[in-house]
Amino acid sequence: MKIHTDLKLRVIANTAGMPWAPSPVNGIDRKMLERDGDEVARATSLVRYAPNSSFTSHPHELGEEFLVLDGVFEDEHGKYPAGTYVKNPPGSSHTPLTETGCTLFVKLRYQDPSDDERVVIDTQSAEWHQGLVPGLNVMPLASFGTTNTALVRWAPGTYFNPHRHFGGEEIFVVDGVFEDEHGRYPKGFWLRSPHMSAHKPFSVEGCTILVKTGHLHNF
């Protein structure tokens, strides 16, 4: 299966308008944003677990990272309520389940094989840092080589400088409305901009976005 596999192209998806598609496991549905492969695939997806659903134990040869958007996700290593960011390194494995049900933003098989750090961050309580312009706050989540992942919070009326992204940029709008000169992106929008793309972002209404940069030139 191939969905938006050409990383040289800019892609915008409004996940709120996409239907849920059943996975091979009962009680688990997906909205596939990009995918290169079948059930073992480099992929970006929203994944929804029904209450009391579970998935069999499985490895992540090239890693997995996810942000819990609602509910409580679980595995044998712990419980992860809404707002938890998790990065499971290449070679890791787990057995997912949930009692309450949950929705995740998930990326698979994007990590460097030598990136062996597991990261778990409760973004509801972690510290925010002042960004490069007034009104912008950043919460670093993970970093390896040229790749960086963070939550970025924009106060209403915040404007950022025009800039270019080495290795590309990927954004998922967690809350509010993100904007740039190309368009307006409310909660649930996913954007992927290619290596060396440029824009001038801002937010009139305020927003929180999950941002990943520097990872799109390796494939």
Average pLDDT value for residue range 10-24: 95
DSSP-based three-state secondary structure for 65: strand
Question: Which residue is listed with tokens 């919070």?
Answer: 153
- Place 80 in a pLDDT band, splitting at 50, 70 and 90: very high
Report the distance separating Cα 168 and Cα 97, nearest Å.
33
Higher pLDDT, 163 or 58: 163
What is the predicted pLDDT for the residue at 219? 65
Q: What are 163's two structure tokens?
A: 């800039």
Q: Over range 187-201, report the average pLDDT.
A: 97
pLDDT at 40 over 90: no
**Per-residue pLDDT averaged across 168-173, rounded?**
97
Residues in the chain: 219
pLDDT digits (tens, 9 = 90+) for 26-36: 999 999 999 98
Q: What span, in angstroms and rounded, lies between the C-alpha atoms of 172 and 102? A: 17
- Alpha-carbon gap, residue 154 to 206, rounded angstroms: 5
Could you tell me what percent of the chain has a pLDDT over 90? Answer: 86
pLDDT higher than threshold 80 for residue 46: yes
pLDDT at 155 over 70: yes
Question: If we measure between CA atoms, which residue out of 182, 170, 174, 179 comes closest to residue 214?
Answer: 170
Domains in the chain: ranges and CATH: 19-122 (2.60.120.10), 129-213 (2.60.120.10)
Structure tokens at 31: 């909205």
pTM above 0.85, yes or no: yes
Q: Between these two residues, 218 and 107, which has the higher pLDDT value?
A: 107
